Amino acid sequence: MTGRDAIGFHIVTGFLGAGKTTLINRLLRAPELADALVIVNEWGEIGLDHLLYETLTGDAILINSGCVCCALRGDLVETLRDVMARRDSGALPAFCRIVLETTGLAEPAPILHALVVDPELSSRLALAGVTTLVDGVNGLATLRSRPESARQIAVADRLVVAKSDLLPQIERATRLAELDAALRDLNRSAPIVDGAAAEFGPAEFLAEASSSPARSAGEGDHAIGRRRRPSFDGLWRGGGGKRSLHGIQSFAFRSAEPVDPRAFAQFLSLVGLMLGPRLLRLKGLFALADRPETPILVDGVQHVFHAPRALPGWPDADRSTRVVIIVEDAAARDVDNLWAALTRAPRIDAPDLAALTDNPLAPRAGGLLG
| Of 187, 216, 245, the domain-final residue | 216
What pLDDT does 365 receive?
35
SS3 content of the chain, % helix, strand, coil (to 5): 40, 25, 35
Beta bridge partners of 192: 159
> Of 56-65, 89-98, 145-154, 356-365, where does mean pLDDT reach its minimum?
356-365
**CATH number of the domain that 343 lies in?**
3.30.1220.10
Within 10 angstroms of residue 307's Cβ, the number of other Cβ atoms is 14
Q: Check whether residue 172 and residue 42 sit in a common domain.
A: yes
Split at pLDDT 50, 70, 90, the class of 21 is confident
CB within 8 Å of 130: residues ≥ 6 apart: 11, 13, 108, 112, 155, 156, 157, 158, 209, 210
Q: Check whether residue 167 and residue 260 sit in a common domain.
A: no
Task: Write out pLDDT tens, residues 227-237.
Answer: 333 333 333 33
Range of the domain at 202: 3-216
What pLDDT does 7 receive?
93
Q: Check whether residue 316 and residue 208 sit in a common domain.
A: no
**Residue 228 falls inside a structural domain:** no
**Residue 225 falls inside a structural domain:** no
Structural domain tally of the chain? 2
Residue 319 pLDDT > 80: yes
Q: Check whether residue 162 and residue 22 sit in a common domain.
A: yes
**Residue 226 falls inside a structural domain:** no
Tell me which of 62 and 169 has the higher pLDDT: 169
Q: Check whether residue 192 and residue 267 sit in a common domain.
A: no
Q: Check whether residue 58 and residue 191 sit in a common domain.
A: yes
CA atoms of 152 and 133, how far apart (whole Å): 9
Q: Report yes or no: 155 and 280 within 8 Å, Cβ to Cβ.
A: yes
What pLDDT does 209 receive?
55
**CATH number of the domain that 110 lies in?**
3.40.50.300
Q: Check whether residue 184 and residue 248 sit in a common domain.
A: no
**Residue 13 falls inside a structural domain:** yes
Q: Report yes or no: 223 and 177 within 8 Å, Cβ to Cβ.
A: yes
Q: Check whether residue 139 and residue 174 sit in a common domain.
A: yes
E strands within 274-319?
279-286, 296-301, 304-305, 309-310
**Residue 337 falls inside a structural domain:** yes
**Residue 221 falls inside a structural domain:** no
**Residue 315 falls inside a structural domain:** yes
Residue 356 pLDDT > 70: no
Task: Write out pLDDT tens, residues 63-114.
Answer: 656 677 777 766 888 889 989 998 999 988 899 999 998 888 888 888 888 8
What pLDDT does 57 receive?
59
Q: Check whether residue 152 and residue 195 sit in a common domain.
A: yes
Q: Check whether residue 263 and residue 211 sit in a common domain.
A: no
Residue 369 pLDDT > 60: no
Q: Check whether residue 201 and residue 304 sit in a common domain.
A: no
**Residue 230 falls inside a structural domain:** no
3-state secondary structure of 222: coil
Q: Check whether residue 251 and residue 312 sit in a common domain.
A: yes
Q: Report yes or no: 112 and 281 within 8 Å, Cβ to Cβ.
A: yes
